[in-house]
Chain A
Amino acid sequence: AQRVTQPEKLLSVFKGAPVELKCNYSYSGSPELFWYVQYSRQRLQLLLRHISRESIKGFTADLNKGETSFHLKKPFAQEEDSAMYYCALPRTGNQFYFGTGTSLTVIP
Chain B
Amino acid sequence: GAVVSQHPSWVICKSGTSVKIECRSLDFQATTMFWYRQFPKQSLMLMATSNEGSKATYEQGVEKDKFLINHASLTLSTLTVTSAHPEDSSFYICSATSNYEQYFGPGTRLTVT
Instruction: List A residues at the B interface (Cβ < 8 Å).
Output: 9, 42-46, 86, 93-96, 98-101, 103
Contacts and interface: CB of A to CB of B under 8 A. Distances in A.
B97 A94 contact: yes
Nearest to B93: A44
Interface of B: 32, 34, 41-44, 46, 49, 57, 93, 95, 97, 100-102, 104-107
Nearest to B46: A95
Nearest to A32: B100
Contact of A101 (B43, B105, B106): B43
B3 to A, nearest CB: 10
Q: Is the interface of B mostly helix, strand, loop or mixed?
A: strand
A42 B106 CA distance: 7
A101 B101 CA distance: 19
A86 B102 contact: no
A25 B43 CA distance: 16
A23 to B, nearest CB: 12
A46 B102 contact: yes
Given A43-B105, A93-B32, A96-B102, A103 B49 contact: no
Given A94-B102, A101-B43, 16 more contacts: A43-B93, A43-B106, A44-B93, A46-B101, A86-B44, A93-B32, A93-B57, A94-B34, A94-B97, A95-B46, A95-B49, A96-B46, A96-B102, A98-B43, A98-B46, A101-B42
